[in-house]
Structure 1
Amino acid sequence: MYYLFSDAYHYRGLVTIFGPRNNRGPYRGIYCSFRNRLFKKRIKGAVLILILGLLLSYLIGSIPTAYIFGRIFKGIDIRKHGSGNVGATNAFRVLGPAIGITVLALDALKGVIGVVPVADFILKQQVVNELLIRVLCGVIAVLGHSFTVFLNFKGGKGMAATLGVLIGLSLKFSVLKIILLSEILIWLMVFLFSRIVSLASLVSAVTFPVFFIVLRQPWPLILMSLGLSIFIIARHKPNLSRLLKNQEPRLILNKKKKI
Structure 2
Amino acid sequence: MIGFMLTLMAAYLIGAIPCGLVLARFVGLGDIRTVGSGNIGATNVYRVGGRRLGVATLFLDALKGLLPVLAALYLYPDSPWAVSLVAAAAFLGHCYPVYLGFKGGKGVATGLGIYLVLSPWAVLVSLGIFAGVLWKWSYVSLASLCAAGAIPLLVVLFERSLPLFLVTLFISGMVIFRHRANIERLLSGTENRFRA
- Is this a same-fold pair by TM over 0.5? yes
Write out per-residue CA displacement over residues 81-114 of structure 1, whole angstroms, 9 at most, x where no aligned residue. 0010111111111111100000001000010011
Percent sequence identity is 38
* Partner of residue 221, structure 1: 164
Contact 1:74 1:95 in 2 (8 A): no
Report 1:43-82 matches (<5 A). 47-82=1-36
Partner of 1:74, secondary structure, is coil
Are residue 157 (structure 1) and residue 100 (structure 2) matched?
Answer: no
Cα distance change of structure 1 residues 73 and 118 upon mapping to structure 2, 3 Å threshold: farther
Contact 2:91 2:107 in 1 (8 A): yes
Partner of 2:106, secondary structure, is coil
* Partner of residue 142, structure 2: 199
Contact 2:62 2:114 in 1 (8 A): yes
Q: Determine which structure has more spread, i.e. the larger CA radius of gyration.
A: 1
Quote the offset at 1:212 in angstroms: 2.4
**Aligned amino acid, residue 242 of structure 1:** R
* Partner of residue 100, structure 1: 54
Contact 2:148 2:175 in 1 (8 A): yes
* Partner of residue 42, structure 2: 88
* Partner of residue 16, structure 1: none
Are residue 247 (structure 1) and residue 196 (structure 2) matched?
Answer: no
Quote the offset at 1:193 in angstroms: 1.3
Q: Which runs of 5+ in 1 are unaligned?
A: 1-46, 170-175, 254-259
Write out per-residue CA displacement over residues 35-80 of structure 1, whole angstroms, 9 at most, x where no aligned residue. xxxxxxxxxxxx0110111100001000000110111102410000
Contact 2:62 2:110 in 1 (8 A): yes
Are residue 109 (structure 1) and residue 109 (structure 2) matched?
Answer: no
Write out per-residue CA displacement over residues 102-145 of structure 1, whole angstroms, 9 at most, x where no aligned residue. 0001000010011002542x43xxxx743222211111101000
What's the RMSD between the two structures over aligned residues? 1.4
1:144 pairs with one of 76, 84, 93 = 93
Write out per-residue CA displacement over residues 125-183 of structure 1, whole angstroms, 9 at most, x where no aligned residue. xxx743222211111101000101111011110000000000122xxxxxx33212101
- State the distance in 2 between where 1:89 and 1:145 align: 15
* Partner of residue 130, structure 2: 187
TM-score (norm: length of structure 2): 0.95
After superposing on structure 2, the runs of 4+ consecutive aligned residues of structure 1 that deviate more than 4 Å are none
Contact 1:111 1:163 in 2 (8 A): yes
**Aligned amino acid, residue 229 of structure 1:** S
Which of the two has greater helix per residue?
2
